């Protein structure tokens, strides 16, 4: 069990009865998902009324070619405190800031906006990273300025230095207001930048990829060291004692498992969970004729994920919960060796296999599935085993059923979180569509299969014969009993067109699974973008989805 000691008077998390003005910082660091890359158009363009703050400069305080390496020289007038809202800066849009701070503020005051705005306590959010950065480029070492770093990736450095100077600016602003400033929490959103080509991690842009076990251990240790250094340096500025808590998402990639390892090893790191349930930036429109990359998040995705983070910050720092994400505790092979029983740590039981909100993840074979609801099983030789069913059998337990009993001389391991790749049908014809779009006319009707994907927004289709190509499908309709898929020709991969007769497979942006808990916590924001999906106006569901994992051995 983690032990954390939060002195409310130091962190600025005292309740509404304390009338002393308090500004509590949430200091963020990370890469593109943290800076809102392609999360456009923004959905929080105005003050939300929860009383939270940002610098006049904006949440993103590090700006290329604007004293990036010398943040102390940034103009003081840009650090006046203003209401927190999203701002657009080129291809950068919505961040997690409003969802995170607004949800935390709401939770502290019972979702009573009047009480929250009358309270002397406010959150101030600042972020000093940049998209595409590796962990040691964001650290005090600042390897982004190393001559071995490719010139195209040298943008002046100074990320860590900027974060520290932001704390000094916040202290100065609080002093002029007669308020106290302390940092309440750190938020980390980096890991993709250290992903290697074969599923492990690379320490730098010039080092070789590490073997997977060594790579996971390396990133774990780097993240723990980063938190300790960042905490110590910020506390030296603010005068706080103790350690600052860090919260992190789970990266979709090898760093995600290392982040979970770091949370297990450091009592001051808390893994919120994976973000695979939120919509990706293929739903964004960054320019009139361009959408975002599938690795990034849409504006609603950023704000939704921010609420998840704010929820967990509140539970840990205000309620003193010993938070754990939804994760496996054990796996046991049945005596007949034909099924596996998985037991989970569940934040809010019971478990749910949700194939309505997210399409059922599957990769099918003629005898069953090599991947089902996110789960995959391999034997000790590396051979994938065929699954026939995944069942919730108790509030914290799942059973995986195998098509055949595992031989006595074999062991097995389980992984969770895999791509969605489902056969969709065959192209009957390709034709011009409405408003400069194009249509793929299928030979059958598959709209029912696509319903959960359409609720999210856009999805991909790829061909299984002929020159390989892929495109995002942005609308679906039924015509004369068959399904018609609408796309934008400019989005064809490498401009390669589809051809009649080609079989199609449908794909979702993120690897994922369907296992979640039953957390009923309400969101304070709702889906706002009306240009994609069918969820506009609905609240963000704040269920906790199962973490991604691999190599879980079955006893």
Helix/strand/coil (H/E/C) assignment for every residue in 195-233: ECCCCCECCCCCCCCCCHHHHHHHHHHHHHHHHHHHHHH
What is the helix (H) or strand (E) element at residue 472, kind and residue range? strand 470-479
How far apart, in whole angstroms, are the C-alpha atoms of residue 175 and residue 13?
A: 18
DSSP secondary structure letter of residue 517 = -
Structure tokens, 7: 């002195």
How far apart, in whole angstroms, are the C-alpha atoms of residue 182 and residue 344?
A: 36
- pLDDT computed for residue 1 by the predictor: 58
Task: Identify the residue with better confidence: 429 or 16.
Answer: 429
Is the pLDDT at 14 greater than 50? The verdict is no
From residue 178, how far is each of 20, 25, 171 by CA, in Å?
9, 16, 10
Is the pLDDT at 418 greater than 70? The verdict is yes
The angle subtended at Cα 350 by Cα 344 and Cα 352, nearest 5°, is 85
pLDDT above 70 as % of the chain: 96
- pLDDT computed for residue 16 by the predictor: 37
- pLDDT computed for residue 338 by the predictor: 97
- pLDDT computed for residue 20 by the predictor: 60
Average pLDDT of span 231-238: 98
Is the pLDDT at 8 greater than 60? The verdict is no
Task: Identify the residue with better confidence: 26 or 5.
Answer: 26
Q: Name the band, by pLDDT with cuts 50, 70 and 90, for residue 367.
A: confident
Q: Name the band, by pLDDT with cuts 50, 70 and 90, for residue 555.
A: confident
Q: Name the band, by pLDDT with cuts 50, 70 and 90, for residue 435.
A: confident
Is the pLDDT at 308 greater than 50? The verdict is yes
Average pLDDT of span 70-91: 97
Is the pLDDT at 381 greater than 70? The verdict is yes
Q: Which residue has the tokens 């006595």?
A: 408
Task: Identify the residue with better confidence: 259 or 120.
Answer: 259
Angle between helices 212-238 and 254-265 (to 10 degrees): 60
Structure tokens, 192: 């993709």
- pLDDT computed for residue 369 by the predictor: 94
Report whether 212 contacts 200 (CB < 8 A). yes
Per-residue pLDDT tens over the stretch 276-290: 999 999 999 998 889
Is the pLDDT at 403 greater than 80? The verdict is yes
Mean pLDDT, all residues of the chain: 94
How far apart, in whole angstroms, are the C-alpha atoms of residue 496 and residue 409?
A: 48
Handedness of CA 24, 118, 79, 170 (dihedral sign): negative
DSSP secondary structure letter of residue 407 = P
Per-residue pLDDT tens over the stretch 203-224: 999 999 999 999 999 999 999 9
From residue 95, how far is each of 116, 328, 360 by CA, in Å?
22, 30, 29
Average pLDDT of span 310-325: 98
- pLDDT computed for residue 21 by the predictor: 84
Cβ-based neighbour number of residue 66 at 10 Å: 15
Is the pLDDT at 18 greater than 70? The verdict is no
**CB within 8 Å of 551: residues ≥ 6 apart:** 413, 415
- pLDDT computed for residue 137 by the predictor: 97
DSSP secondary structure letter of residue 193 = G
- pLDDT computed for residue 6 by the predictor: 41
Task: Identify the residue with better confidence: 18 or 355.
Answer: 355
- pLDDT computed for residue 2 by the predictor: 65
Handedness of CA 57, 61, 65, 66 (dihedral sign): positive
Please give the span between the terminal C-alpha atoms of the chain, in angstroms, as a whole number: 24
Overall size of the chain counted in residues: 555
CA-nearest of 253, 156, 272 to 202 is 253
Angle between helices 212-238 and 159-177 (to 10 degrees): 30
How far apart, in whole angstroms, are the C-alpha atoms of residue 246 and residue 267?
A: 10
Task: Identify the residue with better confidence: 118 or 301.
Answer: 301
Report whether 477 contacts 403 (CB < 8 A). no
Average pLDDT of span 175-196: 96
CA-nearest of 325, 281, 313 to 548 is 325
- pLDDT computed for residue 19 by the predictor: 60
Q: Which value, to the nearest 10 degrees, does the dihedral of the CA atoms of residues 90, 92, 98, 104 take?
A: -150
Q: Which value, to the nearest 10 degrees, does the dihedral of the CA atoms of residues 40, 43, 46, 51 take?
A: -120
How far apart, in whole angstroms, are the C-alpha atoms of residue 230 and residue 366?
A: 53
CA-nearest of 523, 52, 49 to 301 is 523
Handedness of CA 499, 505, 510, 516 (dihedral sign): positive
How many Å is the maximal CA-CA distance in the chain?
Answer: 73
Cβ-based neighbour number of residue 541 at 10 Å: 19
How far apart, in whole angstroms, are the C-alpha atoms of residue 536 and residue 267?
A: 38
């Amino acid at each position: 069990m983690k032990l954390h000691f939060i002195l409310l008077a130091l962190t600025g998390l005292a309740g509404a009865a304390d009338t002393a003005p308090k500004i509590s910082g949430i200091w963020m660091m990370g890469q593109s998902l943290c800076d809102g890359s392609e999360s456009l158009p923004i959905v929080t363009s105005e003050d939300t009324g929860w009383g939270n703050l940002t610098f006049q400069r904006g949440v993103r305080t590090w700006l290329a070619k604007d004293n990036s390496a010398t943040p102390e020289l940034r103009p003081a007038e840009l650090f006046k405190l203003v209401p927190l809202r999203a701002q657009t800066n080129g291809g950068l849009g919505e961040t997690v800031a409003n969802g995170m701070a607004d949800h935390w503020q709401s939770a502290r005051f019972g979702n009573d906006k009047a009480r929250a705005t009358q309270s002397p306590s406010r959150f101030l959010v600042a972020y000093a990273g940049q998209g595409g950065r590796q962990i040691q480029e964001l650290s005090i070492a600042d390897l982004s300025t190393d001559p071995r770093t490719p010139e195209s990736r040298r943008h002046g450095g100074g990320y860590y230095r900027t974060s520290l100077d932001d704390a000094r600016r916040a202290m100065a602003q609080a002093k002029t207001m007669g308020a106290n400033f302390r940092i309440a929490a750190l938020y980390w959103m980096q890991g993709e930048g250290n992903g290697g080509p074969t599923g492990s991690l690379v320490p730098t842009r010039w080092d070789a990829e590490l073997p997977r076990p060594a790579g996971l251990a390396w990133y774990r240790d780097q993240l723990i060291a980063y938190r300790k250094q960042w905490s110590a340096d910020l506390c030296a500025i603010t005068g706080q004692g103790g350690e600052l808590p860090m919260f992190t998402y789970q990266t979709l990639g090898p760093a995600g498992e290392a982040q979970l390892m770091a949370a297990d090893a450091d009592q001051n790191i808390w893994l919120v969970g994976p973000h695979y349930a939120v919509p990706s930036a293929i739903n964004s429109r960054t320019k009139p004729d361009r959408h975002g990359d599938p690795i990034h998040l849409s504006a609603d995705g950023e704000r939704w994920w921010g609420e998840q983070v704010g929820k967990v910050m509140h539970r840990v720092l205000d309620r003193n919960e010993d938070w754990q994400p939804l994760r496996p505790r054990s796996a046991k092979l049945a005596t007949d060796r034909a099924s596996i029983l998985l037991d989970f740590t569940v934040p809010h039981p019971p478990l749910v296999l949700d194939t309505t909100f997210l399409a059922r993840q599957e990769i099918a074979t003629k005898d069953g599935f090599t991947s089902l609801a996110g789960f995959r099983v391999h034997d000790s030789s590396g051979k994938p085993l065929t699954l026939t069913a995944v069942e919730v059998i108790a509030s914290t337990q799942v059973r995986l059923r195998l098509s055949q009993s595992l031989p006595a001389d074999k062991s097995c391991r389980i992984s969770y979180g895999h791509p969605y790749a489902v056969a969709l049908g065959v192209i009957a014809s390709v034709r011009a569509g409405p408003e400069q779009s194009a249509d793929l006319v299928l030979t059958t009707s598959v709209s029912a299969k696509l319903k959960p994907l359409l609720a999210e927004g856009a999805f991909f289709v790829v061909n299984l014969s002929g020159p390989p190509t892929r495109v995002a499908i942005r609308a679906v309709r039924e015509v004369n009993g068959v399904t018609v898929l609408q796309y934008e020709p400019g989005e064809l991969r490498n401009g390669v067109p589809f051809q009649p007769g080609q079989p199609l497979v449908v794909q979702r942006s993120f690897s994922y699974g369907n296992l979640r808990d039953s957390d009923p916590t309400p969101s304070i924001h709702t889906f706002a973008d009306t240009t994609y999906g069918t969820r506009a106006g609905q609240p963000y569901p704040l269920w906790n989805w199962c973490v991604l994992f691999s190599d879980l051995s079955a006893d």
